[in-house]
Amino acid sequence: MSRIATTGEVLQLIRSGEATTRAEIGRVTALSRPAVTHRVNELLQRGLVVEDAEGPSTGGRPPVRLRFNAAGGVVAVASLGASRTQIALCDLAGDVIERTDLVIDVEEGPDAVLGLVMDTWEKLLEGRGPLAGVGLGVPATVEYARGRTESARVMASWTGVEIPPRIAKRFPVPVLVDNDVNVIAMGEHRGVYPDQDDLLFVKVSTRIGAGVVSSGAIMRGALGAAGEIGHIPVRDGGGVLCRCGNLDCVDSVASGTAILRTLRERGRDVETLADVTVLVRQGDAETMAVVRQAGRWLGEVIASAVNLLNPSVVVLGGDVAEMFMPLVSGVREVVYQRSTQLATRSLKIERSRLGPGAGITGCALLVIDHILDPDAL
Chain segment 268-292, per-residue pLDDT in tens:
999 999 999 999 989 999 999 999 9
Which CATH number is 74-184+358-372's, of 3.30.420.40, 2.60.120.380, 3.30.465.10, 3.40.50.261? 3.30.420.40
pLDDT value at residue 2: 46
pLDDT, tens digit, 9 for 90 and up, residues 336-367: 999 999 999 999 999 999 988 899 999 999 99
> Residue 150 — pLDDT band, cuts 50, 70, 90?
confident
Mean of all residue pLDDT scores within the chain: 92
- Give the tens place of pLDDT for each residue, 82-106: 778 999 999 999 999 999 999 888 8
Please name the residues in contact with 14: beta carbons below 8 A apart, sequence gap of 6 or more: 20, 25, 43, 49, 66, 67, 68
**What are the two backbone dihedrals, phi and then psi, of residue 210, each rounded to the nearest 5 degrees?**
-140, 150
Q: How many residues does the chain have?
A: 377
Q: Can you tell me the distance from the alpha carbon of 150 to that of 183, in angstroms, rounded to the nearest whole number?
A: 17
pLDDT band at 293 (very low <50, low <70, confident <90, very high): very high
Does 57 have pLDDT greater than 90?
no
Tell me the fold of 7-68. Arc Repressor Mutant, subunit A (1.10.10)
CB 48 within 8 A of CB 376: no
Integer Cα distance of 332 and 191 in angstroms: 23
User: Which class would CATH give 194-352?
Assistant: alpha beta
Q: In angstroms, how far is CA 297 from the centroid of its own chain?
A: 24
Show the 3-state SS of the chain.
CCCCCCHHHHHHHHHHCCCCCHHHHHHHHCCCHHHHHHHHHHHHHHCCEEEEEECCCCCCCCCEEEEECHHHCEEEEEEECCCEEEEEEECCCCCEEEEEEEECCHHHCHHHHHHHHHHHHHHHHCCCCCEEEEEEEECCEEECCCCEEECCCCCHHHCCCEHHHHHHCCCCCCEEEEEHHHHHHHHHHHHCCCCCCCEEEEEECCCEEEEEEECCEECCCCCCCCCCHHHCECCCCCCCECCCCCECEHHHHHCHHHHHHHHHHCCCCCCCHHHHHHHHHCCCHHHHHHHHHHHHHHHHHHHHHHHHHCCCEEEEEHHHHHHCHHHHHHHHHHHHHHCCHHHHCCCEEEECCCCCHHHHHHHHHHHHHHHCCCCCC
**Which among 101, 157, 160, 90 has a CA at the least distance from the CA of 355?**
101
pLDDT of residue 356: 81
- pLDDT tens digits, 159-197: 899 999 999 999 999 999 999 999 999 999 999 999 999
pLDDT of residue 4: 79
pLDDT at 314 over 70: yes
Same-fold call for 7-68 versus 194-352: no
The structural domains of the chain, with segments of one domain joined by +, span 7-68, 74-184+358-372, 194-352
Mean pLDDT of 12-34: 93
Across the range 218-230, mean pLDDT stands at: 90
Whether 365 and 77 have beta carbons less than 8 Å apart is answered as no
